[in-house]
Structures are given as structure tokens and as C-alpha cells.
């Protein structure tokens, strides 16, 4: 009797896991609305306003800055306006703005959004500040998928977070490097990812290597420098980057 119960329990667990993997790979049935524009496919669980056309164009303009991005077979984007949907797809990362499912279905999931205003709604229920619009979050998460497709799953799993999130942030938005470097040297809160949840520190490091040191993105992905040494180099810079 005990063995039979254990067997049933094991089979039930396997069924749940397999069902979840299928849902990650094919989430479309949970999203009734779709918009395809600028080579991007957007799915949502609420009606998609016409303003999302311009938002997708802004996303595409950012993605086209990256030599890694391919217009062939672009990853699909899912906006989860209901909390339970985002909880399902974000798994243990419910408080993040978005989640890139890099290893199973290679889809991007965003939390509740004000699609009309190009704003993401944070965990507090308030819109995220305008310097990080919804288009930023979409582009950032899409770059994670782009990176794993470029380097492969094994290399991506070993990629330092500062390279992965730094490059995604670098593509997804523009920053003032001189001002950001000054804040980095001051130890500003927004340059500490652990305290702020922002990737400006990583963005600065990647931008410095690509724009000032002339490192190619392929070289950065293949042989990222040691983080502490790079930060010491940034601290030693006099004047602007």
C-alpha cells in the first residue's frame, strides 16, 4: 500500500512538472490578445491599446543597436496584468519587473503594465519611474534571450551577472557615462545593485569596455575581465570616461 501511494505521488509530481514545462513553452492560451509589429510579437491578458505600436518601435530601435540581435525568430513577449499569471511565470522572482525564460521556451514575461502610458507597474502598485519605461523592460529582457541564443545555454549559465545584466541594460537605455561614473566613485545608492535593484553599475562597466577600451561584445562574452580589477580601473579614471 505504501509503495502504491508513493508511486502515485511520484507520478503526480512528474505530471505537474511536465505540465508546467509545457506551459512555459506554450503560454499563448492564457493570453487572449496579440499584437505583431516591428518584427516583435506581443501577447497580453488584457486588450492591447494602439499606443503599443509606438512602444514596440522604441523597443526595436534599442535592439537594433546590438550586433547580437537577429530579426529572425524574435522571442515572444507576454504582459501579465493579472498577478497570478506573473507569479506562475516569474516563479520565485515575483518582485522583478520582468523575467526572461532563457532555458525552456525562451519567452519574456512582464508584470502588470500601463500599456497606454508605456509604464511598468511595480510591486508597490505604482508606476516605475519614467526613466525606465515599459519599452526599457521589454528590450532588457529580450536581450537576455538574445544573449543566450548567441553564446549558448552552457556559456550563458557561466556568464557573470554584471556582463549579462550590464549588456542588457546598455542596449535597453542610454545613460550619461560621465555622470554615472561620478556617482559610481561617490558610492551613490543607485550604483549599488544590491541596494537599488538597478543595473547602472553593470551598465557603466560594460559601456566603458565597449566604448572606451574598444572591446568587442564577442570578446566580452567569451573572456570577461575580472570584476574587481575593472572597478579599480574605473575608480582610477580622472576626468570623464
Could you read off the pLDDT of 75-103 as tens digits, one per residue?
899 999 999 999 988 877 778 999 998 77
Q: Where are the beta strands (DSSP E) in 4-145?
A: 33-37, 40-44, 76-79, 98-101, 107-110, 113-114, 119-120
pLDDT value at residue 18: 75
Average pLDDT of 129-145?
Answer: 96
DSSP 121: B
109 forms bridges with which residues in the sheet?
Answer: 78, 99
| pLDDT mean across residues, the chain | 91
Half-sphere exposure (Cβ direction) of 203: Cα atoms closer than 13 Å:
25
pLDDT value at residue 14: 67
> Other C-beta atoms within 10 Å of 28: how many?
12
Average pLDDT of 109-125?
Answer: 95
Q: Tell me the C-alpha distance between 78 and 60, whole Å.
A: 16
pTM score over 0.75: yes
Average pLDDT of 176-186?
Answer: 96
Average pLDDT of 213-227?
Answer: 96
Structural domain spans, the chain = 28-158, 160-241
Residue 43 predicted with pLDDT over 70: yes
Asked if CATH classification 3.40.30 holds for the domain at 28-158, the reply, yes or no, is yes
101 forms bridges with which residues in the sheet?
Answer: 107
Residue 22 predicted with pLDDT over 80: no
Task: Please indicate whether residue 14 or residue 29 has the higher confidence score (pLDDT).
Answer: 29
DSSP 223: S
Amino acid at each position: 500500500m505504501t509503495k502504491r501511494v508513493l508511486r502515485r505521488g511520484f507520478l503526480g509530481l512528474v505530471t505537474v512538472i511536465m505540465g508546467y514545462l509545457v506551459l512555459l513553452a506554450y503560454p499563448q492560451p492564457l493570453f487572449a490578445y496579440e499584437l505583431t509589429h516591428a518584427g516583435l510579437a506581443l501577447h497580453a491578458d488584457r486588450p492591447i491599446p494602439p499606443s503599443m505600436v509606438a512602444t514596440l518601435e522604441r523597443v526595436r530601435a534599442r535592439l537594433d543597436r546590438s550586433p547580437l540581435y537577429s530579426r529572425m525568430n524574435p522571442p515572444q513577449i507576454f504582459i501579465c496584468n493579472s498577478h497570478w499569471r506573473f507569479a506562475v511565470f516569474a516563479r520565485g522572482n515575483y518582485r522583478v519587473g520582468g523575467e526572461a525564460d532563457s532555458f525552456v521556451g525562451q519567452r519574456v514575461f512582464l508584470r502588470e503594465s500601463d500599456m497606454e502610458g508605456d509604464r511598468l507597474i511595480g510591486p508597490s502598485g505604482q508606476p516605475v519611474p519614467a526613466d525606465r519605461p515599459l519599452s526599457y523592460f521589454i528590450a532588457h529582457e529580450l536581450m537576455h534571450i538574445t544573449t543566450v541564443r548567441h553564446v549558448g545555454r552552457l556559456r550563458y549559465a557561466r556568464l557573470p551577472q554584471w556582463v549579462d545584466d550590464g549588456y542588457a541594460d546598455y542596449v535597453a537605455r542610454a545613460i550619461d557615462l560621465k555622470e554615472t561614473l561620478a556617482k559610481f566613485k561617490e558610492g551613490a545608492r543607485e550604483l549599488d545593485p544590491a541596494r537599488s535593484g538597478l543595473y547602472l553599475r553593470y551598465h557603466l562597466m560594460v559601456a566603458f569596455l565597449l566604448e572606451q577600451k574598444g572591446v568587442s561584445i564577442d570578446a566580452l562574452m567569451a573572456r570577461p575581465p575580472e570584476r574587481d580589477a575593472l572597478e579599480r580601473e574605473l575608480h582610477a579614471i580622472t576626468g570623464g570616461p
